[in-house]
Structure 1
């Protein structure tokens, strides 16, 4: 008895089982199936009791002679016959011979055709509804380790091509767009063969419910664009970007986040929110214009290095573990020995910045010296995500979680 009580309390009364039974009880198709099976079995029982001992008689030479007997002898035969008849298969191995039994068969035929029609109609309705939800971006996604892109740009197709070029380990089916663009715009993107399997969630990306539909909790990367679909000033666009990052970080701290800002004054809010990477698009444009005005040709150099399809580009690579704790000069020599690779600096505190900061605080607290502890915590406070160190001194010591900034040619 204790075993049965345990099974009842820990399995049948578990939250998972209750959720399943709750969903099943609300499904019209399940209700139709249950009612249908009940009626089929009821008609099978009735036919069995009518047919099991039935004999058909004929008059031969003036005498009443039993000429046929029913071949439905067991309840199993009757249930088999009812299901075969209701699905219009009709093997003919079992059949009633009495008037009452044949009447049951007629009822079963009409009922079976109706039941099949209702079931196929419900299945077709479910598939059509699923297709409509996907088209309108209303479907809940179950992806894991995926890449979410929030916001919209006028040249979205080209942006997606460049993003895919730099993130080749992601399949198009692992990319999720969250925005309030017209369905026609999304269809235009999906008409490109490369993005036919891309996912779309329609809604405001600062809304938690919308982010949960994209299964944000299990996402690997999130890119928040300065959304051009937002009416209003630059400040309103950037405010929404900041709110999006705050909301995202409140749901998951493990996803790598990157956000685009138009106005630099909002940068500190993103840093407070532990945003891993910040794109200051207007600031970059102003710097390029200023350099171009001096006739330095810097704008052409930067354009070539950032071109995702160029033969030579600037990129970052994880510093090999064996070089952590060694000097910059030793790493420089390593890259010089490689074909078409030049080391120009380091990128420190890379990866998920929340994890880097948590680890740094944990390491800082290991000292028993209070004054040293205070100094360590002050140092942690000055940490910045993805901090570039360009062309350091040769004796500069390489730290953990650093990446090498290199100019590299394609193989």
Structure 2
């Protein structure tokens, strides 16, 4: 009964561990055997084990050599059995390493970490986002889910790639969505705006169904689907079309200034933040609060009051309890 349990346990181990266990067991057996046969030349069991590993791995230092006929015959058996087993073990480890690297590149390996960020969709926006993660040394692992790519090099992008549909529970579990902190869903550029928004909403539903607490940021292209994205469970909705239209409109009146470059530079180097107002700033004018934040290298640009965003308010506006201050700070902070 016990033997059957050990046999089942052994054959359920990964092949690398099975081979390593077999090599060690074989070397221990031959080491003990040579110690029993030639106790004068191999005074301890460890000396015999050392000789077995050196001989079986075909290193052959020659510091211990069997002298008797029986000892030499044991050595021949060790070379035939142990040498082949060690060689097979090394070849299996090498092949397994190459296969694992290939599977990792092709998105077949599950992610085992936690508190990570999941990106859905491979496009210029996600590429730039990953680059910003690198430049600003964001302390989070990044997992990419995409069904259009065949492979992504981990060495080049420092991301864990999962190949498959982001609406599949199996694929989301491979990305360990249950322990993810953020999910960023971008619009599929290969689809029409209506189709891309429908796909985004399906992705939101699948993600929210697998993790009710994860913070979901999604890109929606059409206004009509904005409310549906919120109903589906998205925490933040980004309207990229509205943003670009506003930039183009601003550019009409700024012929000598590259307004888009200015805004892009600001977004790259500065971070928008919100913070519940501190008690010592209550009932003070906005100008006073702005001066206070400037001392800390932060640029106060507005506040959120009763769900309404107020940008660049009057300097004489007095703060109230539960106000959230909106400010810019350098990315490096």
TM-score band by shorter chain is 0.7 to 0.9
Q: 1:330–1:256: structure 2 CA closer, same or farther, 3 Å change rule? A: farther
1:388 maps to 2:298: no
Q: 1:131–1:314: structure 2 CA closer, same or farther, 3 Å change rule? A: closer
Tell me how large the CA RMSD over aligned residues is. Answer: 4.0
Distance 1:407 1:315 in 2: 7
Question: 2:41 corresponds to which residue?
Answer: 71
Q: 1:332–1:137: structure 2 CA closer, same or farther, 3 Å change rule? A: farther
Q: How far 1:346 sits from its partner (Å)? A: 1.6
1:316 maps to 2:239: no
Q: How far 1:128 sits from its partner (Å)? A: 0.7
Structure 1: stretches of 5+ with no match in the other structure: 1-17, 53-69, 349-382
Distance 2:234 2:327 in 1: 21
1:333 to 269, 284, 288: 288
Distance 1:220 1:144 in 2: 8
1:267 maps to 2:189: no
1:250 to 203, 209, 214: 209
TM-score, structure 2 as length reference: 0.76
Deviations along 1:225-250, one digit per CA (max 9) or x if unpaired, are 00224xx5433321221122222223
Q: How far 1:77 sits from its partner (Å)? A: 4.8
1:144 maps to 2:114: yes
Task: From the CA coordinates, give the structure whose radius of gyration is larger.
Answer: 1
Distance 2:43 2:116 in 1: 60
Alignment of 1:234-383 (within 5 A): 234-286=193-245, 291=249, 303=260, 306-309=263-266, 315-322=272-279, 326-327=282-283, 330-336=285-291, 338=294, 343-347=300-304
1:117 maps to 2:87: yes
Q: How far 1:161 sits from its partner (Å)? A: 3.8
Question: 2:19 corresponds to which residue?
Answer: 32
2:142 to 159, 165, 175: 175
Distance 1:275 1:263 in 2: 15
Distance 1:27 1:158 in 2: 39
Aligned residues of 1:150 and 1:178 also touching (Cα < 8 A): yes
Question: 1:213 corresponds to which residue?
Answer: 174
Q: How far 1:223 sits from its partner (Å)? A: 1.2
Question: 1:153 corresponds to which residue?
Answer: 123
Q: 1:75–1:307: structure 2 CA closer, same or farther, 3 Å change rule? A: closer
Q: 1:139–1:22: structure 2 CA closer, same or farther, 3 Å change rule? A: farther
Number of residue pairs aligned between Structure 1 and Structure 2: 321
Aligned residues of 2:285 and 2:319 also touching (Cα < 8 A): no
Deviations along 1:331-389, one digit per CA (max 9) or x if unpaired, are 432214637976442246xxxxxxxxxxxxxxxxxxxxxxxxxxxxxxxxxx97xx523
Deviations along 1:267-287, one digit per CA (max 9) or x if unpaired, are 122222442210122234455
1:399 maps to 2:322: yes
